[in-house]
C-alpha cells in the first residue's frame, strides 16, 4: 500500500485509497445495492434498519441509510464485512489488527437527498484508533454530496464543539470514484451536502476498531 495513505490519515484525519476494488467485485456490490434499495423504493419494504424521512410538501419518502447492512441477506456485502480488502486497509492505517464493528449503506437519492450535518462519529477514543471506511459504489462529486472534512480536526479535544472547529476551517471536499475507499478517523469533523444530480450516490461504510477494543454502538 502507498505509505502516503497512512501519513494522510494520521496528519489530516482522512485519506483516499484509490481503486481498491476491482470491477468484478464492484459490479457484484452495485447489483446487491440496487436490489436492497429497490426493496424500499419499489417493494415497499420498511424495517428498523431502513432509515428514511418524509419530504414536507410532496410527502415522498427519502431513504438515506440502510443500517446493519451485513444482516440484509447480501452475500457480497457479508463477505466484505467478514474479512478481506477493507480489513487489510484498516490494519495498515491503524497499525494493529482490526475488526469490523458496524456496516451501513449511505444512500443519497437523486435530487431529494438531504445534507448530512457536520458531526464527529465518536470522540470516546483517542485519535488514530478507530476509523470508518467508505467504499464508493458510484462516483462521489461535489454535485452529488461527496464527503467534506475539516483537516486535522480529529486532533481537537473531545469537548471542542464541531461548530467551533468549522469556523476555524478549512473545509475540504473529497471527491472519489466508484471503487475508491475513503478512510476517516471517527473523531474528524465531517459532513456532506445534498445530491443535485439525477443519479444515486451510494457508499458502503464499515467501522474498524482494534481487535480487543470494546465500543458502544455507533452510527458511523
Binding site for Ni ion (CB under 5 A): 121
The residue nearest Ni ion at its CB is: 121
Q: Select 39 or 149, whichever has its Cβ closest to Ni ion.
A: 149
CB of 172 to Ni ion, least distance (A): 15
CB of 55 to Ni ion, least distance (A): 23
CB of 182 to Ni ion, least distance (A): 11
Q: Select 39 or 185, whichever has its Cβ closest to Ni ion.
A: 185
Q: Select 39 or 186, whichever has its Cβ closest to Ni ion.
A: 186
d(Cα 22, Cα 142) in Å, to the nearest integer? 24
Q: 175 with 140: CB under 8 angstroms?
A: yes
Q: 192 with 149: CB under 8 angstroms?
A: no
d(Cα 126, Cα 187) in Å, to the nearest integer? 8
d(Cα 54, Cα 51) in Å, to the nearest integer? 11
CB of 132 to Ni ion, least distance (A): 7
Q: Select 8 or 121, whichever has its Cβ closest to Ni ion.
A: 121
d(Cα 190, Cα 14) in Å, to the nearest integer? 10
Amino acid at each position: 500500500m502507498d505509505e502516503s495513505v497512512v501519513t494522510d490519515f494520521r496528519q489530516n484525519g482522512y485519506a483516499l485509497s484509490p481503486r481498491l476494488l476491482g470491477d468484478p467485485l464492484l459490479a457484484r456490490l452495485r447489483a446487491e445495492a440496487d436490489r436492497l434499495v429497490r426493496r424500499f423504493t419499489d417493494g415497499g419494504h420498511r424495517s428498523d434498519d431502513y432509515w428514511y424521512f418524509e419530504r414536507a410538501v410532496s410527502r415522498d419518502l427519502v431513504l438515506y441509510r440502510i443500517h446493519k447492512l451485513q444482516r440484509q441477506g447480501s452475500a457480497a456485502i457479508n463477505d466484505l464485512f467478514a474479512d478481506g480488502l477493507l480489513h487489510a486497509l484498516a490494519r495498515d492505517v491503524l497499525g494493529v489488527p482490526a475488526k469490523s464493528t458496524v456496516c451501513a449503506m449511505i444512500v443519497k437519492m437523486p435530487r431529494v437527498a438531504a445534507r448530512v450535518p457536520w458531526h464527529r462519529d465518536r470522540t470516546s477514543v483517542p485519535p488514530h484508533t478507530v476509523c470508518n471506511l467508505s467504499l464508493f459504489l458510484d462516483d462521489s462529486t461535489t454535485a452529488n454530496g461527496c464527503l467534506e472534512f475539516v483537516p486535522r480536526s480529529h486532533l481537537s479535544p473531545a469537548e471542542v464543539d464541531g461548530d467551533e472547529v468549522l469556523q476555524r476551517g478549512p473545509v475540504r471536499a473529497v471527491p472519489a470514484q466508484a471503487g475508491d475507499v475513503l478512510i476517516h478517523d471517527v473523531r474528524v469533523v465531517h459532513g456532506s451536502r445534498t445530491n443535485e444530480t439525477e443519479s444515486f450516490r451510494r457508499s458502503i461504510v464499515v467501522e474498524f476498531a482494534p481487535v480487543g477494543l470494546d465500543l458502544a454502538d455507533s452510527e458511523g
